[in-house]
Amino acid sequence: MNVNSCRIIELPKITDSRGNLTFVEGDIIPFDIGRVYYLYDIPAGSERGGHAHKALHQFLVASSGAFKVHVEDGKNRKTFSLDRPYFGLYIPPMLWRTLDDFVTGSVALAIVSARYDEDDYFRDYSEYCRYVSTQ
């Protein structure tokens, strides 16, 4: 898997004078939704992520605020800025990712393909690089 497999997906936006509405469902993102979680109350200067997933597909949205997502495949690195609730970043499995540069009050919404499983993580960067170099 390489960083060029990541892509920004524009989500439907139902504009309304009472407030806009955006939704995510199965045919908008390239995997079946298995879990949703979100990061919030993120102190300035924090970095999240810092791992890769073996099989998990992920879709990240700045549902409030803004932050950056850096993805790496062992050779190349790419940075995406998320700053609208109607754009999200699709990250396939086997990419190292870190999230940083959070604007105060940001909420990072993660829609992913499976239940939480610690065995699905690479948490050690050298181990991850060693593994991808053999693939």
Q: Which chain residues interact with ligand TYD by CB under 6 A?
A: 37, 39, 48-49, 51, 116
CB of 4 to ligand TYD, least distance (A): 22
Q: In this chain, which residue has its C-beta nearest to ligand TYD?
A: 48
Of 13 and 107, nearer to ligand TYD (C-beta) is 107
Cα–Cα dist 67/106, whole Å: 8
Cα–Cα dist 64/14, whole Å: 17
CB of 46 to ligand TYD, least distance (A): 9
Residue 130: which residues within 8 A CB-CB, separation 6 or more? none
CA 57 to chain centroid, in Å, comes to 9
Of 19 and 45, nearer to ligand TYD (C-beta) is 45
